Amino acid sequence: MRNDERFEIQRAFDLLPHVIGCSWATIWFRMNDIKKPTRQEFREKTVEYFKKIEPIFESYPKDEKFQAIQKYIDFRKSDEIQKISDGLNQEVEKRYDRYVDYG
């Protein structure tokens, strides 16, 4: 698969973890009046909300012409979850810092 064929999916995975995962996690903590969750709690909640968009990741047809892009989507999804969990997604870490500093 050529890079240009997966460009849009790459951009989506650059944004989805913090735009979807962190945004929903932040609101969840705020609505539950949890001002200082641990970093790990924030990461876990971010992953929980990120996983809720799973149907989008599986929305392409299961035929051969989508096989390569689906394999890439599966890889990126797993990779992003691991990065969030390990504290390696810098945008998620930034959002955590902002939340606990300004809640």
pTM: 0.92
Query: What are the DSSP calls for 40-81, one per residue?
Result: HHHHHHHHHHHHTTHHHHT-S-SSGGGHHHHHHHHHHHHHHH
Instruction: Write the CA distances from 45 to 5, 6, 26, 50, 63, integer angstroms.
Output: 31, 28, 9, 9, 33
Number of domains in the chain: 1
Question: What is residue 42's predicted lDDT score, i.e. its pLDDT?
Answer: 98
What are the tens digits of pLDDT across the range 38-64?
999 999 999 999 999 999 999 999 999
Three-state DSSP state, 1: coil
Question: What is residue 3's predicted lDDT score, i.e. its pLDDT?
Answer: 67
* Structural domain containing residue 38: 3-102
